[in-house]
Amino acid sequence: MMKDFYKKTIVKNRSSKIYVVSAPSGAGKTSLLKELVKNYTSLHLSISYTTRKPRSGEVHGKDYYFVSNKYFNKMIDKNYFLEYATVFNNLYGTSVVYMNESLEKNLSIILELDWQGNRSIIKKYPNDCVSIFILPPSLNDLYTRLNNRATDDINIINNRLSKAKEEISYIDEYDYVITNVDFSKTLEDLKTIINVQSFINKKIRKTHSLLIE
């Protein structure tokens, strides 16, 4: 029997961060983040639950937790998700259990979410969230990337491009915006953001140590 997992977690003296990263489909977000976490032992990439079918090469429990619509809806009923949304007719959700356990261990977490998910996480963790939006160089470049990926037909690609325009309209809500022209350069930009946030945390904790004990 599935338990009701929701609980509010407050961890004192926590220096970890929640990084929400958004990007249009095909902008290179997933590849960048998988490479990014290799450089930080205390930075983990959250694994979402989804009702979509696995793409070629994707592994259950590594890329996503692939579940049925029926099971996903049971998880919703049991408050299993910190946030969830429908994207291209598929459901995606972030486990509140994973988030709570990670924060208790003082780990920083990266969440791959859209603008709606970003709003939801900022609302729940206003003092801990850092938001990053990754842009493609252009919509033409995005079309080329989606087409070369060869996983979708032309109608789905056009739908993703239309969705991309909507997502990009929300970039003013993000703390950082990066244009992914070159993979290596974009990766270095992401590392810079992580390093700056880590430095800020350490400096604040040292300066105000007597107040946050």
Domain count, the chain: 1
Domain assignment present for 161: yes
Question: How far is the CA of 13 from the CAs of 10, 64, 210, in angstroms?
Answer: 10, 31, 11
In 3-state terms, what secondary structure has residue 206? Answer: helix
**Ramachandran area for residue 150 (φ above 0: left; ψ -120 to 50: alpha; else beta):** left
Q: Taking a C-beta distance cutoff of 8 angstroms, is the pair 5, 78 a contact?
A: yes
Q: What is the pLDDT of residue 154?
A: 85
Residue 6: predicted pLDDT: 46
Round to whole Å and give the CA distance between 138 and 26.
11
Q: Which of 171, 163, 170 is nearest to 146 (CA)?
A: 163
Domain span at 91: 18-212
How far, in Å, CA of 66 to CA of 91, rounded?
A: 10
Residue 57, domain CATH: 3.40.50.300
Domain-embedded: residue 6: no
Looking at residue 10, its pLDDT comes to 42
Query: Starting from the edge strand earliest in sequence, which strands make up the sheet with 129-135, in order?
Result: 43-45, 108-112, 18-22, 129-135, 176-179
Q: Is residue 137 part of a domain?
A: yes
Give domain status of residue 9, yes or no.
Answer: no
* Residue 212, pLDDT score: 44
Do 166 and 158 contact (CB within 8 A), yes or no?
no
> What per-residue confidence (pLDDT) applies to 211?
47
Is 10 part of any domain? no
Q: Specify burial of residue 203 (Cβ count, 10 A radius: 0-12, 13-18, 19+).
A: exposed
Q: Tell me, yes or no, whether 185 lies in a domain.
A: yes
Q: Is residue 90 part of a domain?
A: yes
pLDDT truncated to tens, each residue of the chain (213 aa)?
455 554 444 444 456 899 999 999 889 999 999 999 999 998 999 999 999 999 888 999 988 999 999 999 999 999 999 999 888 889 999 999 888 888 888 899 999 999 999 999 999 888 889 999 999 999 999 988 888 876 777 888 888 898 899 999 999 999 999 999 999 999 999 999 999 988 776 544 444 444 444
